[in-house]
């Protein structure tokens, strides 16, 4: 039986833990765009840094970004952000992958959302860097395997920058250190347009993963940058760095 107060007390011990408040759009420091605008990371590609937003707001933001990309004004919009504790269930998730009921999880402050991406269950938390690349693969002339390779290269680059040497497994898409998963990826593709994306674990409070079979793997070891290095990089800065690393590689694609 999980003690909610023990959960919250232990969560507060992470060096990465801060009293983050939900934020509006925050743009890179060298961006000269006005309020509500985004910086261009390359030809027709935007990067938006949003800070901590609810998962529901993130879904709404993805839908709005997808509508803009479908209109043809952009080939891609990358959303860098973080979420309060939430478990998401992909289209292939089975009931047994969730080890606790939604009511018990909500008593711990963890929401549960079914989503349209592929794969099974995963967990998001505030000390995790998340990027949602909303991309028109047709105009970028990208295949899904190439997008996954770009994502993996960007994740490994960002992890190296914070002192973690990981490997990317294309068969089980994600970044691993000695078999422990430190980053996960899960895209949804509809009419050549992607939503959802990639998450990198920064803070070491990973207990939310104990309540699921991460990406359909029972007892999958999970790692974090803080657990591996003893320090936790700023989650917002890391999410933005990851978005920029993906965008730079998209800018080198044939259709950009």
* pLDDT per position as a tens digit, 177-215: 999 999 999 898 998 999 999 999 999 989 888 888 766
Does some domain include residue 154?
A: yes
Does some domain include residue 142?
A: yes
% of residues, the chain, pLDDT over 90:
54
Beta-carbon contacts of residue 156 (< 8 Å; ≥ 6 apart): 166, 167, 168, 175
Does some domain include residue 159?
A: yes
168, two tokens: 């990317």
The one catalytic residue among 16, 31, 215, 232? 215
With 0-12 CB in 10 A as exposed, 13-18 as middle and 19+ as buried, what is 160?
Answer: exposed
> Which residues of the chain carry a pLDDT beneath 70?
1-43, 91-96, 99, 118, 214-218, 252-256
- Residue 218 is predicted with a pLDDT of 67
Does some domain include residue 193?
A: yes
Does some domain include residue 23?
A: yes
- Domain limits at 38? 4-251
Strand duo 111-114 + 86-89: pairing: parallel
Does some domain include residue 105?
A: yes
Does some domain include residue 40?
A: yes
Does some domain include residue 42?
A: yes
Whether 39 is catalytic: no
Q: What CATH number corresponds to the domain at position 179?
A: 3.30.930.10
Count of domains for the chain: 1
């Amino acid at each position: 039986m999980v003690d909610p107060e023990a959960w919250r007390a232990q969560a507060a011990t992470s060096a990465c833990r801060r009293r983050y408040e939900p934020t509006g759009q925050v743009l890179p420091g060298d961006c000269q765009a006005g309020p509500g605008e985004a910086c261009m990371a390359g030809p027709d590609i935007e990067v938006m840094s949003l800070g901590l937003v609810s998962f529901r707001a993130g879904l709404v933001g993805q839908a709005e970004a997808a509508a803009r990309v479908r209109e043809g004004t952009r080939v891609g919009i990358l959303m860098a952000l973080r979420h309060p504790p939430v478990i998401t269930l992909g289209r292939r998730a089975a009931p047994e992958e969730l080890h606790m009921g939604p009511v018990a999880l909500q008593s711990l402050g963890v929401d549960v959302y079914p989503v349209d991406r592929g794969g099974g269950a995963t967990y998001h938390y505030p000390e995790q860097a998340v990027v949602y690349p909303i991309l028109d693969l047709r105009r970028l002339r990208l295949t899904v395997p190439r997008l996954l390779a770009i994502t993996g290269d960007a994740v490994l680059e960002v992890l190296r920058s914070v002192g973690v040497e990981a490997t990317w497994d294309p068969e089980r898409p994600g970044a691993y250190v000695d078999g422990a998963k430190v980053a996960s990826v899960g895209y949804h593709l509809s009419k050549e347009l992607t939503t959802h994306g990639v998450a990198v674990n920064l803070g070491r409070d990973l207990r939310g993963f104990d309540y699921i079979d991460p990406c359909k793997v029972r007892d999958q070891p999970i790692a974090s940058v803080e657990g591996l290095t003893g320090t936790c990089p700023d989650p917002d800065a890391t999410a933005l760095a990851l978005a920029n690393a993906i965008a730079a590689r998209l800018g080198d694609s044939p259709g950009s």
